[in-house]
Amino acid sequence: MIRLFGICVALGSLFQATLGLNIPPITSCSSLVATPPDGATLINSTATERYNVTYSGPTYNGLAGSVNICDVEVFLTHGDAGDAVRFAIYLPLDGWNGRWQGTGGGGFAAGGFDFELVPAATNGYSAGATDAGVNLAGDTDVWYNSTQLVENFVHLSFHEMTLIGKDLSEKFYGRKPEYSYWFGCSTGGRQGMSEAQRYPEDYDGIFAGSPAINWDKITVAGYWPLTAQRQGGEPVPLCKLGAMGNASISACDLLDGAADGLISNPLKCGFDAKSVVGMEVQCDGNTITTITERDAVVWNKIRNGFTDESGKFLWYGLQPGANYQNQATQSGFLISTQWIRDFLLRDPSLDVSNIKQGELVDLFNESVSEFGDLWGTDNPDLSAFRARGGKILTWHGWADDLISPLGTVDYWQRVVDLAGGEEKTDEFYRVFMAPGLGHCGNGPGPQIPTDNLAPLIEWVEKRNAPETILFSGNGQSRNICKFPKELKYSGSGNVSDAASWGCM
């Protein structure tokens, strides 16, 4: 569509009038057949009307209702690879809002399907998901050594889904989607950033929550909490890690001006766990134990991040306020285990549960050198996406316990350096760092909006760029600040209320 400033007033009001209205189908659902993109071959394409489709459970791209859709199920293959990639495209039978929404997955699952498709269709989008041709249970042992399946998972399948979904929207409603949006968190966030970096024409707006960019690094570094916890003796009990975490919150809570149990900017938190050596902790409800020097060293190692044995920094750690217990469990972080076992060591039968620091450093090196280019998704050059007017919105929880939020800060800084400063970057890429928020939600702090796409749509369609985003939950609300600004208590008013806080 045309978005030149001179004529956007007239056209803008025209689009405003059509968007949000019911754009009816011009053809029957059953007549729809997907057209395979270049390089792919159609296995089959089936279109079926489905009524009162619902999804129960929490959602994050709008509330799910009961929706009537044309469900187009498509399978594609590539050359002689023998892959069968599934695509589900949901086209609302009534109330299409003129927008396409591509949705992403989590961990080693490429798509969430009904979890995101039903809310999207309920809210009037035509929407799609794909399994990349790999199983949704995330069993990487059956696909790690297939070049085609890896390409599908890393970048190709959701690009193809976008082409198919936009094309089917046009066939069904008689017009191209006016706007296209990506929605995803974690792996879904990485997929969104892959679209911006590799296929900048696909989307007008990309929502990339807690993005798993830096994939080659976070997968190996995700094992570090477990390795660190086991160094120098018996594994440090999880409750001790939790107690030191609580002590870090107590030590740094007031830095933002208010005792709210949250650290607004962990980068300013100078807490050293050695300051609580000797503190008594009640584990398992009864046993009293004492924080030792070694316990403190381990907590500090998880916080300060993954290093080699000489202390050289390799990747960022989890921040004070995050739940360190999750990655320091006996079985290890599953994504890291699978990555190390299947992709790096290429032997799904291996037990990798006792990896030592030196081995982990070697694995990190191998991961970066062999997989960084393909899997990395941390290319800071967003110039093509920016030039076509695209916008990217990211939030990341400071209390993310799976993907260090500092990887997002690091990427933001690299984009800023390349794009010519913060103001220039603000024009197309904005990041919001949320205190007390876990991975894609959870954590003790205010929680993510019900419709995380709403601020992005305001930005793309009305040029109303977000300065803050309202998060609410756990009895608190905050207008989360555009990074690098941070929350500061105003000095008066209920500390639980967003209105009592400003950005500085």
Ligand X SMILES: *[C@@H]1O[C@H](CO)[C@@H](O)[C@H](O)[C@H]1NC(C)=O
Residue numbers at the binding site for ligand X (CB under 6 A): 43-44, 46, 51-52, 75, 84, 141, 145, 239, 242-243, 246, 281, 308, 312, 348, 361, 365, 368-369, 475, 494, 496-497
Least distance (Å) between residue 46 CB and ligand X:
5
Least distance (Å) between residue 170 CB and ligand X:
23
Indicate if the alpha-carbon torsion angle 424, 427, 428, 434 is positive or negative: positive
Least distance (Å) between residue 347 CB and ligand X:
8
Decide: 96 and 156 in contact? Cβ < 8 Å. Answer: no
Indicate if the alpha-carbon torsion angle 20, 26, 30, 33 is positive or negative: negative
Q: Which is nearer to ligand X, 28 or 365 (CB)?
A: 365
**Tokens 């990506």 belong to which residue?**
182
Least distance (Å) between residue 127 CB and ligand X:
20
Q: Which is nearer to ligand X, 127 or 368 (CB)?
A: 368
The Cα 324–Cα 299 span in angstroms is: 8
Element (H, E) at 293: helix 293-304
Count of CB atoms within 10 A of residue 366's CB?
Answer: 16
Q: Which is nearer to ligand X, 272 or 347 (CB)?
A: 347
| Segments in 19-156 forming alpha helices (H) | 114-122, 147-151
Least distance (Å) between residue 361 CB and ligand X:
5
**Tokens 């909006």 belong to which residue?**
449
Whether residue 484 is preceded by a cis peptide bond, meaning omega within 30 degrees of 0, is: yes
Q: Which residues of 15-35 are buried (b: 16+ CB within 10 A; e: fewer)?
A: beeebeeebebeeebeebebe
Least distance (Å) between residue 9 CB and ligand X:
41
Least distance (Å) between residue 261 CB and ligand X:
7
Decide: 81 and 104 in contact? Cβ < 8 Å. Answer: no
Q: Which is nearer to ligand X, 20 or 475 (CB)?
A: 475
Q: Which is nearer to ligand X, 484 or 502 (CB)?
A: 502
The Cα 469–Cα 479 span in angstroms is: 5
Indicate if the alpha-carbon torsion angle 454, 456, 458, 464 is positive or negative: positive
Comparing every residue's Cβ against ligand X, the nearest one is: 308
Angstrom CA distances, 246 to 304, 466, 469, stand at 17, 32, 27
Decide: 115 and 187 in contact? Cβ < 8 Å. Answer: no
Decide: 343 and 217 in contact? Cβ < 8 Å. Answer: no
Q: Which is nearer to ligand X, 178 or 450 (CB)?
A: 450
Q: Which is nearer to ligand X, 134 or 208 (CB)?
A: 134
Residues 6 or more apart in contact with residue 472 via CB below 8 angstroms: 446, 447, 478, 498
Q: Which is nearer to ligand X, 61 or 248 (CB)?
A: 248
Q: Which is nearer to ligand X, 308 or 359 (CB)?
A: 308
Least distance (Å) between residue 247 CB and ligand X:
9
Short-list 326, 322, 372, CA closest to 220 = 372
CA atoms within 13 A on the CB side of 414: 14
Q: Which residues are catalytic?
A: 186, 400, 439
Question: Which DSSP string corresponds to 40-70?
Answer: -EEEEEEEEEEEEE---S--SBS----EEEE
Angstrom CA distances, 23 to 126, 171, 174, 307, stand at 11, 13, 9, 55
